[in-house]
Amino acid sequence: MQNFADITPPITLSPLDGRYRSKIAGLTNYLSEPALNRARIDIEIRWLIYLTDRHILPHTPALGGAEKEYLHGITQSFGKEEMRELKELERETKHDVKAVEYFLKRRLDAAGEGPLAQMREIIHLFCTSEDINNLAYALSVKSAMLKIWLPAAQDLIARLRRLAQATADCPMPARTHGQNATPTTVGKEISVFIYRLCRQLRNLERAEYLGKFNGATGTFGAHAVSLPEVDWIGVSRDFVSSLGLTWNPLTTQIEPHDWMAEIFSSVAHFNRIAHNLATDFWMYISFGYFRQLPSAQGTTGSSTMPHKINPIRFENAEANLEISNALLDTLSVTLVTSRMQRDLTDSSTLRNIGIGLGYSLLALRNLTQGLEGVAVSREKTGRDLAQSWEVLAEPIQQVMRVAAIGGRDDLKNSYEKLKELTRGHSVTQKQIRDFIGKLNLPEKIAKRLENLTPETYTGLAGELTRFALGPNNTDAPETEAGGRGHGRSNPPTADMPAAGGKTEK
């Protein structure tokens, strides 16, 4: 039997790098091992240029444009061959950052005569490995969040906004404790998720990415001994800030990763809300309130039942959000603790950032794709509402209570009277109307109750949806039924394109 471990190129163990790679490939540019090494190289080069540009070191020649271009070119050209070379150096040194140092010294040796030939000893000067690592991770996570994860989260919210906008006034049955409850609208229920997700997104958009640059135990010990006349605290602050990071002045050997824990906790909270969204939509599809649109190229829902279109995007999202949160929660807990001034638990843990964010990214994209492939079934929601006249017990009761407060003693104990009418058995429109007719209410109030139906009893749901979407989002797009999303007499369905792709569960 073939040993798969011997096959080259290596077979992937993680589904993120196999089955699902197309959906998360962008993260490899920032959170893979080669991406981390490229970021380390970049930090080392920027530090060398910073030291020479500001004449911090005595007797150091200035670097011209050509020399700086050569140095930056090392980062820009870092590719497959360079990855292999660096890996060989790491096998020799048994130290990943030391390998980066030797890699760069080779490049300076290869530059020939000139100022760069005198820069060999400046590489990694006044640095501990964590000065390089923490900045490389901070830049990598920042890029991954801003360029990959946040846009995917924004795409999900944008899809929800379009769907909520189109269905702001589309009535649907509500369920509390799984039982029929006061009707709502599709758009209002979607807007609840939009509001929740946006709160977490704002936290992430305002997040700080911290960095430190202060030596072996955070004291600038060797710096102050070697060049006591230099304002090393100012240098550190200026260099870290020049990278677009927030300077952390007080650390041990490592930057304590509190900012990472904050970001991962917010991503995990976003994930949990998205998980709730996935399970709710799965239920709405199960009830028939949303129907799934078959893709143009066809979708295999079952190997034996041809009629089925399985809600796989929502199920995939549900599972992968749970995996993501298991990893992100572990990262948040583990990274913020380090024994005394340094231990290596964070080093191993940090290498899983890409996996934790990768499963989240996969889930968000599947969830967005799932939402693009559903449309409201107006026929089903209307039929269920038409069989739910008991939900009108609530408004009738409240009208009776208001009247009783105003002096109508015969309308007291309204809850008990409506309970006797509606609890435990089905109620017809005629029974509700007959009950209202016997209340002897003022004509205007009686008429208001008599005109009420389960389909029109949605309160201010439409207004709440438009409030959540903002004043510039009140015009709904064309719906599947050809109408626009405002009139309750013809509630809209969503104008969703079909969800494409094969089963990926």
Question: Would you say 75 and 41 are in contact if contact means Cβ atoms under 8 Å apart?
Answer: yes
**77, 286, 302, 426: which is the annotated catalytic residue?**
302
The DSSP symbol for 321 reads H
Is residue 302 part of the annotated active site? The answer reads yes
Nearest alpha carbon to residue 248 among 239, 238, 237 = 237
Cβ partners under 8 Å of residue 455, min gap 6: 171, 183, 382, 385, 386, 488
- Report the DSSP beta bridge partners of residue 93: none
* From 177, 303, 348, 425, the catalytic residue: 177
The Cα 140–Cα 243 span in angstroms is: 12
- Cα separation of 502 and 505, whole Å? 9
Q: CA-to-CA distance for 384 and 184, rounded, in angstroms? A: 13
Single-letter amino acid code for the residue at 448:
R
User: Token digits for 290?
Assistant: 């949303």
Helices (H), 179-250: 186-205, 221-226, 232-242
Q: How far apart are CA 18 and CA 50, in angstroms?
A: 41
Task: State how far the alpha carbon of 491 is from the alpha carbons of 290, 375, 463, in Å.
Answer: 14, 12, 14
Q: Rounded distance, CA 330 to CA 352, Å?
A: 10
- Phi and psi torsions of 244, nearest 5°: 85, 20
14 is catalytic: no
End-to-end CA distance of the chain: 28
Q: DSSP letter at 409? A: G
Contact 105, 123 (CB under 8 A): yes
What residues are annotated to the active site? 177, 302
